[in-house]
Amino acid sequence: MEPSSKSEALNRTRANVIAKGYASGTDTYVERAQGALLCDVDGREYIDFAGGIAVMNVGHSHPKVVAAIQDQAAKFTHTCFMVLPYAPAIDLAERLCRLVPGDFDKAALFINSGAEAVENAVKVARYASGRQAIICFENAFHGRTLMGMSLTSKVKPYKFGFGPFAPEIYRMPFAYCYRCPFGNTYPGCDTACADYLESFLVSHVAPENTAAVIVEPIQGEGGFITPPPEYFPKLKRICDKHGILFIADEIQTGIGRTGTMFAMEHWGVAADITTVAKSLAAGMPLSAVVGRKDLMDSVHPSGVGGTYGANPLACRAALAVLEIFETEDLLKKSRELGEKLRQRFDQFQDEFEIVGEVRGIGPMLALELVEDRHTKTPAGEAAKKLVGFCREKGLIILACGGYGNVIRVLMPLVITDEQLEKGLTILADGLAALTD
Ligand SMILES: Cc1ncc(COP(=O)(O)O)c(C=O)c1O
């Protein structure tokens, strides 16, 4: 039978040539995108509440990003920074060293993906400290490479069948107040989950062996789990006391996603090492490790790097992204968007029993869906249905969380009011349909 659409034709071919494990959430194929609008190969339009998983904070095909990439492509596309370096990488490193929280000298290195940034942050932390152990958290996601996967918490689909994992990784419970792993209630608990690091360093791994603690300021894939204000300052104090480095994985939370350039600013914590990727270069594959200069400089020449790291097109795109943040006051837009979303999401919680909690900071917001507000049974199936409903109606939105029951939004910060309204109406209709 003839395929009924271009997407269907592509899906048929795909089944023969793309590995099944390399799955997609939708079966439509994109042709072009602009701002917060996607258009598929069959001419259907979608509002984008996913942003390519937190990558398109400045919006799809921003003219300044397109111009920067085109200009650079006409000059040169690759020499390998390790062979013949170039100015855009230096300019970008200068900007990032200024922007990443921390009132100390910093240095940066560039690689290609989030997982690679995590790998390199761990390499630097181990090298500089001379220690091996890394402490990570329940619900964490740090990527799909061996180290990224080892640090990641969710077994299926990310780890299942892929062991053995990297050694010397120790996992602690996180500050998931809605489902406190210690059975406590905030604020009466006095963030005992952060103090727990002290006893963890007695019963699981010695501080003298621990190179670093790695955290996501807001756990992304894990369900937009957002710790209370005291949490990270406490963790950092304990780390400092024991000479343990603090790595902030800002891959999903960075570049304006939460209303500040980096999310750790909300907790007033300056990590020793920060990983940056996703929205840094508006879709060009680029990631960075930015950290204390003494740590970053400790590694011997060529101990870190890679053929494509600091790709010149990607660096130019990232410089354009940072310029857009300034010229279009995107941080202000981000905060305004966050307020609008919070207001609507709080209404959703009032209106729909299935919404157990609204959480996040700025426009990095999520709805945790539960079958029953008392038992808090995760409503993973409902979330899946909701994502499907939205797609049918022209809205791309993502679920996350250990049980897939958290609906998260990561739309471009440049989304228009009209697009936002249209998307939120679809989402509200979908929530209503779940309870019909
Ligand atoms: C916090 C965090 N760390 C690491 C990664 C891995 O990034 P990548 O998929 O670019 O390897 C992700 C991706 O979602 C992430 O959200």
Residue pLDDT, tens place only, 360-380: 999 999 999 999 999 999 999
Which ligand 1 atom minimizes the distance to the CA of 115?
Answer: 11
Mean local confidence (pLDDT), 151-160: 96
Q: In what order do the strands lie in the sheet with 37-40?
A: 30-34, 37-40, 45-48, 395-396
- Rounded to the nearest integer, the mean pLDDT of the chain is 98
pLDDT at 1: 85
Q: Confidence band (pLDDT; 50, 70, 90) for 106?
A: very high
**Cα(372)–Cα(352) distance, integer angstroms:** 11
152 C-beta closer than 6 A to ligand 1: no
Helix residue ranges, H only, 275-355: 293-296, 312-327, 330-351
Q: Percentage of the chain with pLDDT > 70? A: 100
- CA 379 to ligand 1 centroid distance, Å: 25
What token pair was written down for 246? Answer: 């603090």
**Cα(142)–Cα(136) distance, integer angstroms:** 10
364 C-beta closer than 6 A to ligand 1: no
Residue nearest to atom 16 of ligand 1 (CA): 252
Does residue 436 carry a pLDDT above 80? no
Does residue 293 carry a pLDDT above 90? yes
CB 68 within 8 A of CB 417: no
Q: Which amino acid is at 143?
A: G
- CA 276 to ligand 1 centroid distance, Å: 9
CB 387 within 8 A of CB 399: yes
Closest CA to 234 of 184, 200, 276: 200
* Global confidence as pTM: 0.98
357 C-beta closer than 6 A to ligand 1: no
Instruction: State the number of CA atoms in the 13 A half-sphere of 394 facing the CB.
Output: 18
